[in-house]
Amino acid sequence: MKKIFILKASKAKTSKDFSLNDLPGDGGRMDIVARCVNSAFFLSHDLRKDTEFIVVLEGGPDPPVTLRFVGSKLKYLSPDERCTGGLIKKALEKVTAKETESTPGIFVSKKSFLEVINELEGELVYLHENGEDIQNVDFDSDKICFVLGDHLGLSQDDESLLKTAKRVSISPMVLHADHCIIIVHNVFDRKNL
């Protein structure tokens, strides 16, 4: 089972000119992005190699920038937010039209959220508090793409791209994106998928 998590980070900086001392403010909630990376990949003494995490940064000065983290190739990643923030800064130094690997397992491109969604292969799932309970959902593919909103959620335009996606809920509460990723992993870990 391969899992891909896709986050739209509406305000996250698209240049390296933000301070690691202020990921929430100066980074445009880059702390959320960093925590999602942690949730997507970290096991106690291992990384999840069957997982990808894609984030579309849509803040200033030059949106969009897309970062793709590939579990099977990742190196130099520590669980703390500042470490991930540093790797993101390095990636943002290397933005070109064509997707480039900035450090092992991190790929940077100018793709938009629309392009990312259109290029996805596998079953598309929109994590949403009004969706069907994930415990009752049958997934049809061994590659599932979970779309997450940040603290501002997805716009109507974004949601129109997800018309064909299954709406799936993982909790009766509204949760942070990084917490959602943990719960999704747990559902599949329990099924040994």
Indicate the annotated binding residues. Answer: 127, 149, 180
CA distance 124 to 145: 5
Residue closer to its own copies by CB (options 82, 99) is 82
CA angle (75, 111, 91) in 5-degree steps = 30
Contact, 4 vs 120, CB < 8 A?
Answer: yes
Q: Which of 1, 2, 16, 42 is in the footprint of its own copies by CB under 8 A?
A: 42
| Binding segment (CB under 8 A) for its own copies, from list 95-103, 120-128, 138-146, 180-188 | 180-188
Question: Least separation, in Å, of the C-beta of 143 and its own copies?
Answer: 20
For the chain, what's the residue count?
193
Which residue in the set 47, 83, 120, 162 belongs to the binding site for its own copies (CB under 8 A)?
A: 83
Nearer to its own copies, 79 or 104 (CB): 79
Is 183 a binding residue for its own copies by CB under 8 A? The answer is yes
Nearest alpha carbon to residue 41 among 54, 31, 30: 54
Q: Which is nearer to its own copies, 14 or 38 (CB)?
A: 38
- Burial of 2 (C-beta count, 10 Å sphere; 0-12/13-18/19+): middle
Q: Using CB under 8 A, pick the residue from 35, 68, 128, 166 that binds its own copies.
A: 35
